[in-house]
Amino acid sequence: MNSPLLELIFLSEKRKDLLLFLNEGPKLISEIKIQLDVGPVAILPQIKKLRENSLILKTGDIYSLSPLGIAIAGRMQAMTDVLKVFENKYDYWANHSVESIPSPLQKRIGELANCTFSEPPDRTRLFEPHREFVENLMESKKINGIASIFHPLYPSLFLTFAKKGVDISILVTRPVYERTKEEFGAELGEFLKFENASFYVCNKKIELSHVVTDRFLSLTLPLSDGTFDHTEDVLCFDSVALQWGEDLFTYYRNISDKVSEI
């Protein structure tokens, strides 16, 4: 793809949005105007440019993608979603270790396009779980979580969920497991007795932490220098992001050992 074609597609929001809209199927001009919220004076010149570059075809009153347009638009959505993720809060992604996310999930990071961010805690609650995190966790009926750090509140918190009948699976690194076993062995032993509770230990290096439930996804990435960031989490609530979170948990579960007893 040459530079003029890139400019044709991405330097106009109307042309980009039109290609993505037509990627769903042929449309009438009336449908295009409604979907893009534009008048004929604004959209017809853009349609003309795309037709001149063989990306759009016109048959009667119906506009559709050409074979070249189909090949391009079919790949645009993924790129648009990735850009949306990073543009949503560019400073966060630029200063955090995106590479700590496993490669298969990095390639699908566009699925977090609708992410938001937790509010940084005030000085009196710097090392407590974020308010949004706890509130959404309390309403969840299924919890899968990965912990790469040790937090003294988590063993009793997750035991409480197990007692409530929540379907809960926790996966930790070997160092986190050893400290949990040493300092909260009783709570861990009780947790393992519940049929609705599972516990896994991964011997591979994990730098991120995350929780995915039937309600939300929370993702904690380290800063670019490897320092754990306890001030801000990525939050997602749509079904596509939740599936991404489930797949992230499955990725690590498949290379971890299940613990049945201490």
CATH of the domain at 30: 1.10.10.10
Is there a single domain that holds both residue 49 and residue 96? Answer: no
CATH number for position 145: 3.30.870.10
Q: How confident is the model at residue 127 (pLDDT cuts 50, 70, 90)?
A: low
Is there a single domain that holds both residue 73 and residue 144? Answer: no
Count of structural domains, the chain: 2
Is there a single domain that holds both residue 66 and residue 170? Answer: no
Q: How confident is the model at residue 1 (pLDDT cuts 50, 70, 90)?
A: very low
Q: Pairing between strand 197-202 and 257-258?
A: antiparallel
Is there a single domain that holds both residue 99 and residue 143? Answer: yes
Beta-strand (E) ranges in the chain? 27-28, 56-59, 62-65, 116-117, 142-147, 167-173, 197-202, 209-213, 217-220, 234-236, 257-258
Is there a single domain that holds both residue 183 and residue 159? Answer: yes
Burial class (CB in 10 A: 0-12, 13-18, 19+), 137: buried
Is there a single domain that holds both residue 74 and residue 95? Answer: no
**Among the three residues 31, 51, 80, which one is the final residue of a domain in this structure?**
80
For the chain, give the mean pLDDT.
Answer: 91
Is there a single domain that holds both residue 62 and residue 97? Answer: no
Is there a single domain that holds both residue 74 and residue 119? Answer: no
Is there a single domain that holds both residue 96 and residue 162? Answer: yes
The predicted-structure confidence for 129-186, as pLDDT tens digits, reads as follows 667 777 888 899 999 999 999 989 889 999 999 999 999 999 999 999 999 999 999 9
**Among the three residues 80, 114, 135, which one is the final residue of a domain in this structure?**
80
Side chain identity at residue 21, one-letter code: F
Is there a single domain that holds both residue 105 and residue 218? Answer: yes
The predicted-structure confidence for 178-235, as pLDDT tens digits, reads as follows 999 999 999 999 999 999 999 999 999 999 999 999 999 999 999 999 998 888 899 9
The predicted-structure confidence for 59-86, as pLDDT tens digits, reads as follows 998 999 999 999 888 888 888 888 889 9
Is there a single domain that holds both residue 17 and residue 54? Answer: yes
Helices (H) and strands (E) in the chain, counts: 12, 11
> Which residue from 53, 75, 48 is spatially nearest to 4, judged by alpha carbons?
53
Give the residue carrying structure tokens 């930790």: 172
Is there a single domain that holds both residue 160 and residue 240? Answer: yes
**Full domain range(s) for residue 173:** 89-258
Q: How confident is the model at residue 120 (pLDDT cuts 50, 70, 90)?
A: low
First CA to last CA distance, the chain: 58
**Among the three residues 61, 80, 99, which one is the final residue of a domain in this structure?**
80
The predicted-structure confidence for 7-36, as pLDDT tens digits, reads as follows 888 788 899 999 999 999 999 999 999 999
CB 255 within 8 A of CB 200: no
pLDDT on residue 38: 92
Q: Pairing between strand 27-28 and 257-258?
A: unpaired
